[in-house]
Chains A and B, each alone.
Chain A
Amino acid sequence: MRWKTESYTGWGRALTATGDIARPERASALAALMKDSPAPAIGNCRSYGDACLNDDGRVVDMTRMDRVLSFDEKTGLIEVEAGLQVSEISRLYAPQGWLPAVMPGTGFATVGGCIANDVHGKNHHGLGSFGQHVTQIVLNQNGKEVTITPKNAGLWKATIGGLGQTGIIARATLQMIACKGDVMLVTERRVDGWDEFLSVLDDSQATYTVGWIDATAKGDALGRGILEEGETGAGLLPKQKASKKVPFNAPHFALSKPIVKAFNNAYYRRVPDSGRTSVKPINDFFFPLDRIHDWNKLYGKRGFHQFQCVVPIAKAPALREMLEMIAKSGLASPLAVLKRMGPGRAGYLSFPMEGYTLAVDFPNRSAAQLLISKLEEMTEEAGGRLYLAKDALARPNRMKAMYPEWKDWLKVVKKADPEGALETDMTRRLELRSA
Chain B
Amino acid sequence: MTDTWIILGATSSMARAFARKLAEEGATLYLAGRDMADLEASAGDCKARGAANAHAVPFDARKPETFTPILEQMGAEEGMLNAAVFVGSMPDQADIDADPSLIDGTVTDSFTGPARFLQLLAPMMEERGGGTVVGVGSVAGDRGRVGNYVYGAAKAGFHTYLSGLRNRLTRSGGHVVTVKPGFVDTAMTWGIEGMFLVASPDQVAGDLLKAVRKKKNVIYTPFFWRYIMLIIRSVPEPIFKKLSI
Measuring CB to CB, which residues of chain A are less than 8 angstroms from any residue of chain B?
A: 2-5, 23-29, 64, 67-71, 78, 81, 92
Contacts and interface: CB of A to CB of B under 8 A. Distances in A.
A28 B40 CA distance: 13
A67 B19 CA distance: 12
Contacts, number: 48
A74 to B, nearest CB: 14
Contacts of B16: 25, 67
A70 B48 contact: yes
A69 B13 contact: no
Nearest 6 interchain pairs by C-beta: A4-B191, A67-B45, A68-B48, A2-B191, A71-B48, A26-B38
B49 A68 contact: yes
Nearest to B40: A69
B35 A26 contact: yes
A218 to B, nearest CB: 47
Nearest to B193: A4
Interface of B: 11, 13, 16, 35, 37-38, 41-42, 44-45, 48-49, 186-187, 190-192
A68 B44 contact: yes
A78 B49 CA distance: 12
A25 B11 CA distance: 9
Given A26-B38, A28-B38, A92 B13 contact: no
A27 B11 CA distance: 11
Contacts of B190: 2, 4, 23
A94 to B, nearest CB: 14
Contacts of B41: 27, 67, 69, 81
Nearest to B187: A25
A92 B48 contact: yes
A3 B11 contact: no
Given A28-B35, A28-B37, A69-B41, A64 B191 contact: no
A92 B49 contact: yes
A405 to B, nearest CB: 35
A70 B44 CA distance: 6
A78 B45 CA distance: 11
Nearest to A70: B44
A71 B190 CA distance: 31
Given A67-B44, A68-B45, A68-B48, 17 more contacts: A2-B192, A4-B190, A25-B16, A26-B37, A26-B38, A28-B35, A28-B38, A29-B187, A64-B13, A67-B41, A67-B42, A68-B44, A69-B41, A69-B45, A69-B48, A81-B41, A92-B48
